[in-house]
Structure formats: structure tokens, C-alpha cells
Amino acid sequence: MTTTAAFATIAALLADPARAAMLTALLAGEALTAGELARVAGIGAPAASAHLARLVDGGLVAVQPQGRHRYHRLASAEVAATLEALGGLAEAVAPPPATGRRWPHGEAFRAARLCYDHLAGRLGVALQAGLAGRGWIVPVAGGWATSAAGEAGLAALGVDLAAARGTRRFACDCMDWSERRMHLAGGLGRELAACCLRRHWLVRLPGEREGDPLARRRLRLTPEGARCLGDTLGVLEQAA
């Protein structure tokens, strides 16, 4: 009873188009100011303020004041995972909009993207499979742990394992709606993504349109990234 009530409360926070647009924008993993989010949602500043207050109060969004700006981000990777799940269901249930591509951002989006703070899409799934296939990560209760070989290999790639361990969950699964498989989340997933971006193995694709909430989530594998990740983890990618 109380359970289904909490359930509905969370859903109500996601049910408003303006809030949904804000959350979708925050899925890119970057912290945005209230003004930016108001523009993304297409509403005025007062309305945005009220929406954000409710999201923060509901525990979905965290806020950190900085000077005269207030930066908002998703409260946790769990929130991101749930949003991804809902997006996948929306895609599966909604009448595919006539045109062949079922998601407006299509192929590039399915190939490689950010899921809040870690990698998703075909690339994310392939990375997870590569890590498990080489025995760099091994399943343990509640998630994954690194093997000795994995420690060495990941460190050689430049992944900050110390930072990865400083998180509540070191490595766990996150559902990938487009591939219907798991990809790696948790501290390790975050640091792996950070490493790939830092070394320019992956670059963010620029958004074509201003205000495109999904724009900053798309990633492109660079030739160097394909070589390095392919050599070490067997990730083959024919992404554009």
C-alpha cells in the first residue's frame, strides 16, 4: 500500500512534459543551471523553479549552489537507470512514428552514448562483454569485482581505480534499453567513461539543434579509440 503510493509519487514527478524534458537533458550527466533547464523545457523561470523544487524534494535531482547560479544534476545513477527503462518502454509502446528510425536520433544514439555517467549503447554492451570475456571483471554478490589481470589492464588503460572504489557501488549492471543487455555502471563504469573521454577515444557529438536535450549524450568512437579499445578489449565498432 505505502509501496504503491511511493511508486505513484515518483511517477508523478516524471509525468509532466516540462519535468521530463529537464530530466532527459540531465541524463547527459552534466550539471545544468535552472535557467538552462527552463529553456530546455520551454517554460518561464518561475515555472522551472517550482518544477525543480519538486524534483529535488522528491530525491530525483540534487542541487549545488555556486555563486548566483544553482547547478542541478540527477541525484544518482539509479535515477538515470530508471529513466532509461521508462524511455525504452515508451519506445516499445508508443506507435513508431511512421519513419523507419524509431528514436529520433537513431543510429548514432544506439551505437554509443552516455547513460548519466557511464557508457551505454552497443559500445557499452561490448565493453562489458569484453571485460567479462577476458576475465578482467568477475561476478560477485551484488555486482562485479576486478581480477588481478583486470587491475593491471585497467590501470594500463589509464582508468583511475582508486576513484572508482570511492563510490557506493564499485561495479554493477545497468539495463540498456536499446540493446536489451547489461552494460557496466557504478564507480568503475564512471571512471571507464571518464578515461575514454579524457584520452579522446570517445568524443561528444555536437547537437544539431539548440535545445536538443539528447544532443550531448551521443558519442563517437575516434580511430584512435577504436584501435586502443579494440586491441585491449576486443571491442569492434563500425560506428560512424
Partner DNA sequence: GCGCCGCTTCGCCCCCGGCCGAAGGACAGC
Partner DNA sequence: GCTGTCCTTCGGCCGGGGGCGAAGCGGCGC
Least CB distance from residue 83 to its own copies, whole Å? 8
Q: Does residue 154 belong to the site contacting its own copies (CB under 8 A)?
A: no
Binding flag, residue 147, its own copies (CB under 8 A): no
Indicate the Cα dihedral angle 174, 176, 181, 182, nearest 10°.
Answer: -20
Q: Give the nearer residue to its own copies in terms of CB position, either 84 or 191.
A: 84
Distance CA 110, CA 91 (A): 13
Residues lying near DNA in the complex (CB under 7 A):
12, 15-18, 33-35, 38, 43-54, 63, 67-70
Return the one option of its own copies, DNA, none that residue 90 interacts with (CB less than 5 to 8 A, by type).
its own copies
Of residues 16-75, those binding its own copies (CB under 8 A) = 16-17, 19-21, 24, 58-60, 75
CB of 74 to DNA, least distance (A): 16
Q: Does 7 help bind its own copies (rule: CB under 8 A)?
A: yes
CB atoms within 10 A of CB 188: 29
Q: Does 138 bind its own copies (CB under 8 A)?
A: no
Cβ closest to its own copies, residue 16 vs residue 151 = 16
Q: List, in order, residues 6 or more apart from 62 with CB less than 8 Å away.
A: 56, 72, 73, 74, 75
**Nearby residues of 154 by Cβ (< 8 Å), 6 or more positions away:** 136, 146, 161, 188, 192
CB of 3 to DNA, least distance (A): 17
Q: Which is nearer to DNA, 53 or 152 (CB)?
A: 53
Which 72-111 residues touch its own copies, going by CB under 8 A? 75-76, 78-79, 81-83, 85-94, 97, 103-104
The sign one gets for the Cα dihedral 141, 147, 152, 156 is: negative
Instruction: Report residue 167: phi and psi, to 5°.
Output: -110, 160
Distance (Å, rounded) from C-alpha 103 to C-alpha 88?
10
The strand pairing partners of 138, in sequence order, are 145
Of the pair 67, 95, the CB lying nearest its own copies is at 95
User: Beta-strand (E) ranges in the chain?
Assistant: 32-33, 61-66, 69-74, 113-115, 118-120, 137-140, 143-146, 172-176, 181-185, 202-204, 219-221
User: What does the binding site for its own copies look like in residue numbers (CB under 8 A)?
Assistant: 1-12, 14-17, 19-21, 24, 58-60, 75-76, 78-79, 81-83, 85-94, 97, 103-104, 129, 139, 142-143, 169, 172-173, 175, 179-182, 212-214
